[in-house]
Amino acid sequence: MSQALLTSPLGLPLGAPKPRVETHPDYAFSFGEEAAELMARARRPLDQWQIDAVTLMLAVREDGKWACFECCEWVCRQQGKGAILEARALTGFLLLGEELIMWSAHEYKTAMEAFRRVKGIIRALGTQVDVAGNLFDVDGILIKVNNTNGEEAFERLDTGARIKFIARSKGSGRGFSGDVNIIDEAFAYSPEQHSALLYTVSARPNPQFIYTSSPPLTGDTGDIMYALRQRGDPTAPRTAEDGPWERDPSLGYRDWGLAGDLDSLDDVDLDDMALAAASNPALGAQRANGSGLTHETVLRERRATLATPAGYARERLGIWPRRATGRSGVIPDEAWQRQRDPNYTDPASVVRPREVVFVVQVNATRSHTTIAAVGARPDGTLLASIVDHRPGTRWAPTRVADLRRRHNPLFVVAQDKGPTGTLLPELADLGVTAAVDRDKPRRGDLVVPWAADVAMAYGLFLDAVVDEGRLCHLDEGPLNVALGACGTRALAGGTAWDYTDPAAGPLLAVTLGTWAVLTLKPQARRSAYEDDNAELMVV
């Protein structure tokens, strides 16, 4: 179905037809063909790779819901990803009856460029009705154009449906419940911005998030992109603690970039045009409007970046920077390394606590849930470890209930506010219920920390690691990454970890576990069936 005209010199490779990585759930059908026909009517025909992308975005399950609640298209610059977003937005706006489509970009000028392109497509599809050019008739649908600065939007006068364009900020979009949320330039999409948008769609009947971007600029930015890559890419770097990759049941993921990272380019032939073709689907295709990426352009870019190969590798070959895992600065790196258990490389030799607290924590983006264990060992030291750390949330309540049944912990700890709070009803159904008397919890009760407890937990954790050298860990990847990424915030007159960072879950869990072990005492002792010599084997 591609309408591209080939202009590549003979013998040079054309852009690849498929991305290096593509994972997605099964689906029953798609409105992708309708989207392609709509763009062809506007004299903006899509390339086949663009049709494939919008087909996945518009894929539908048997029950009529979108197959992909989230959909990612990571592709190098100047390929035509904007046309994919235009096709997705206008199909929902004109054909599918979606009420609000929120189109956001990192900068206002980028959002306005998208606004102008969509206006051009509407003009091509319909007839201008007024003299000012702010009202169009598309197949009998009157569409009003709002050009007011900061309020740029298109509105259907029959249904009130809108496509609204915004520049992202921490609060932008918070008051809107979008059926579709387009996140262009996702490399600059922050956890704070994600939180401002994510929870606005909770009541929408069939919402969707669309992310498009080239790779993150540096390894210590692009948190949301890195979290999505862990969920969507089975070849993404993973630690042993991450466990094996599992297909996300609601994520469509496509990445055109080459494998590897920007710190390891020695084995990458940056002059190999075949590599450029593999990562640039539009290479060698001249579109009807005269746009397109030529081999000459790529060769010119390569010559201009001989002194800065990493820039070319990122921008033209789509290679990601290695994710930074350096410490946040709150706990010095040497102090954290000093607290590794002497046997951390041999888990079977680690002295485990006989009694522990289990903590369950969902991260801010709900992409991962962590279960941690913290307990005191016979020598008085504390051991903090990650019991389980997996994508999603649905698995966690059953896992917590099973751990509680098998190991008879002192307590289970979970916050009732924030993302973890959604697990509490199912935990209660499984018998993990909140303490009747919070000040006198019984063994195995669910304990819910208050804001002052969360602030106290932060101080207790820092003291146990830095000042007392009392808390040990097993050098586990999720916890190390969390400590490197997580900043702090003011809370209840004190300080707490910033829970909005997507990587923060493991750190929040072990911190709350430290608080529970050091401040709470169960009202009922262990039952007689337990062997005094038994040790907890965390799995």
Q: What is the pLDDT of residues 443-486, one digit of tens each?
A: 999 999 999 999 999 999 999 999 899 999 998 888 888 888 78
For residue 6, give the 3-state DSSP assignment.
strand
Q: CA 14, 18, 22 angle in degrees (round to 5)?
A: 155
pLDDT at 200: 72
* Per-residue confidence band for 439, with pLDDT thresholds at 50, 70 and 90: confident
* Per-residue confidence band for 331, with pLDDT thresholds at 50, 70 and 90: confident
* Helices and strands, number each (H, E), in the chain: 15, 23
Residue 40 has pLDDT above 60, yes or no: yes
Give the DSSP H/E element, type plus range, for residue 477.
helix 477-485
Q: What is the pLDDT of residues 212-249, one digit of tens each?
A: 999 998 876 788 899 899 999 999 988 665 678 999 99
For residue 218, give the 3-state DSSP assignment.
coil
pLDDT at 484: 80
Residues 6+ apart with CB under 8 A from 527: 408
Q: What is the pTM of this model?
A: 0.62
**Proportion of the chain above pLDDT 70, given as a percent:** 90
Q: Which of 11-25, 27-41, 43-57, 492-506 has the lowest mean pLDDT?
A: 492-506
Angle at which helix 223-232 crosses helix 191-198, to 10 degrees, equals 70
Count of CB atoms situated within 10 Å of the CB of 229: 22
User: Which residue type is seen at 469?
Assistant: G
Q: CA 390, 391, 393 angle in degrees (round to 5)?
A: 95
The arithmetic mean of pLDDT across residues 401-423, rounded, is 95
pLDDT at 530: 42
Mean pLDDT of the chain: 88
For residue 481, give the 3-state DSSP assignment.
helix
Left if phi > 0, otherwise alpha if psi is -120 to 50, otherwise beta: which for 174? alpha
Residue 91 has pLDDT above 90, yes or no: yes
pLDDT at 328: 55
* Per-residue confidence band for 531, with pLDDT thresholds at 50, 70 and 90: very low
Closest alpha carbon to 358 in 305, 405, 313, 392: 405
pLDDT at 25: 96
Q: Determine the longest span between alpha carbons in the chain, in angstroms.
A: 87
CATH dotted code for 333-519:
3.30.420
The arithmetic mean of pLDDT across residues 17-39, rounded, is 97
Q: What is the pLDDT of residues 251-310, one digit of tens each?
A: 999 999 999 988 888 889 999 999 999 999 999 877 666 667 899 999 999 999 888 898
Which CA distances in Å does 144 have to 75, 108, 198, 349?
Answer: 32, 21, 28, 70
pLDDT at 264: 85
Q: What is the pLDDT of residues 170-190, one digit of tens each?
A: 555 455 568 999 999 999 888
pLDDT at 524: 58
Sign of CA dihedral 314, 211, 105, 35: positive
* Per-residue confidence band for 420, with pLDDT thresholds at 50, 70 and 90: very high
Between CA 69 and CA 296 the distance in angstroms is 39
The arithmetic mean of pLDDT across residues 98-103, rounded, is 94
Q: Which of 20-29, 51-60, 234-243, 340-349 has the lowest mean pLDDT?
A: 234-243
Residue 154, strand partner residues: 145, 163
Domain ranges of the chain: 68-73+92-235+248-254, 261-324, 333-519
Between CA 78 and CA 83 the distance in angstroms is 11
pLDDT at 241: 56
The arithmetic mean of pLDDT across residues 400-412, rounded, is 96
pLDDT at 480: 86
The arithmetic mean of pLDDT across residues 80-107, rounded, is 95
Pick the more confident residue, 537 or 284: 284
Q: Which two tokens stand for residue 487?
A: 């900043």
- Residue pair 359/399 in contact by the 8 Å Cβ criterion: no
Closest alpha carbon to 384 in 480, 296, 295: 480
Phi, psi torsion values for 9, nearest 5 degrees: -60, 145
Residue 8 has pLDDT above 50, yes or no: no
pLDDT at 228: 94
Residues 6+ apart with CB under 8 A from 353: 373, 374, 375, 376, 377, 382, 383, 535, 536
Residues 6+ apart with CB under 8 A from 48: 1, 2, 4, 17
pLDDT at 483: 87
Q: Which of 211-225, 388-402, 413-427 has the lowest mean pLDDT?
A: 211-225
Q: Which two tokens stand for residue 63?
A: 């029950």
Q: The domain 68-73+92-235+248-254 belongs to what CATH superfamily? A: P-loop containing nucleotide triphosphate hydrolases (3.40.50.300)
Q: Which two tokens stand for residue 155?
A: 């509105």
Between CA 159 and CA 139 the distance in angstroms is 14
The arithmetic mean of pLDDT across residues 93-116, rounded, is 93
